[in-house]
Amino acid sequence: MDLTLYKDTFTLGFFVLILTSVIACSFVIGKVSKAYTYTPSLRLFQVYFLMGSIGFLGTWLAVEGILPTLLGGSVVAYCVACATLYLGALNLYSPHLIHTLRVTALTLLCSVSAVTLGTIKAFVFIEAFFALMLFPYLFYALVRRGHFRQNCGTALLLLALFVVILAAFFQLGWLGLSEDIKFVFAVTVFSQSVSFVLVGLGVTTSLLIDEKKKMTELSFKDPLTDLYNRRGMERQFQKEPFRRSAFSIAIDIDHFKRINDTYGHEAGDEVLTKVAALLKSEVRENDICCRLGGEEFIILLAEVNVDIAMQLAKRLRTAIAAFAVNYQDQIIQFTASFGVAECLPQETLHALIKRADLALYQAKSAGRNQVVQAH
């Protein structure tokens, strides 16, 4: 059976498959990214897929003989796509772009060369040179950050970069050893198609995983104060340091209802937000700040003694008493009462908080604006 008769059909189908895959990746990432605050990286990734689609379409039209002059333009599209991939991946978790000027200069240089030189050998060399000028460093930077350990999407990005880098070395080596441009051109198209699909899967997966993490984190946080809610506090309390020793500090803003009645509930929310920020600024990074509900807060301290816990509670009491919230040109001053309890052996978190609450109620009964230790 002579299958060479179907060669052109296969080539056409292959290019259609590549083009469809790139367009599909572009469409998917566009839809997924709408759930995010728009960042420069997301915009760059969308440009990457757009230029990839243009590049593959131009290559297809050139290979089919419809518009042979488009091959140089396809190389330009490839360079722009690689530049946007580099900038997008390098700045994926950063609000500001770096390396923009050097990448822009390199892109212009290679694009002008592609337009000026008109041979397939020159095109392959330019693409390989451009990839090797950018992607080894990007590969190193992504590995060094270590995001691929928590996010398999980043691992797919690394795999895509590895494919492109490996193909670029092969392209340069083959150009120096052989005159079979047809074969190296096929390798170029194949490696680019694989890398484009891997990048699409990698970026989309990264966005979905990050979104899942963000939604999970939000379920453990109080939306007003950004402190942990009860569920988040219970999860954090399972960590090893709190199993060894822990203190609970219960905090309640004195006469909070009076603040709401006098200044309005929005003013009350402002007070809660400011107090939460004050608490977070005074505790250690591994301590837990939680809004238990209403105007009551809980701080969980790990691996401290009673003196340190009491000193912190007294310092917070003094800071809140000296604190004032400016709301619509009105100065709101208030105090808070504190209850401190040490976690007993085998005691549950619920029991620990209950004892801290009892000490807090004693502070309220004794006149408020006080710190009482549970016994």
Q: Catalytic positions, please?
A: 295
CA distance 183 to 321: 78
CA distance 3 to 297: 76
- Kindly provide the b/e burial profile for residues 207-220, where b requires at least 16 CB atoms within 10 angstroms of the residue's own CB: bebbeeeeeeeeeb
- Kindly provide the b/e burial profile for residues 41-60, where b requires at least 16 CB atoms within 10 angstroms of the residue's own CB: bbebbbbbbbbbbbbbbbbb
Q: DSSP letters of 34-48? A: TTS---HHHHHHHHH
Angle between helix axes 181-219 and 152-177 (nearest 10 degrees) is 170
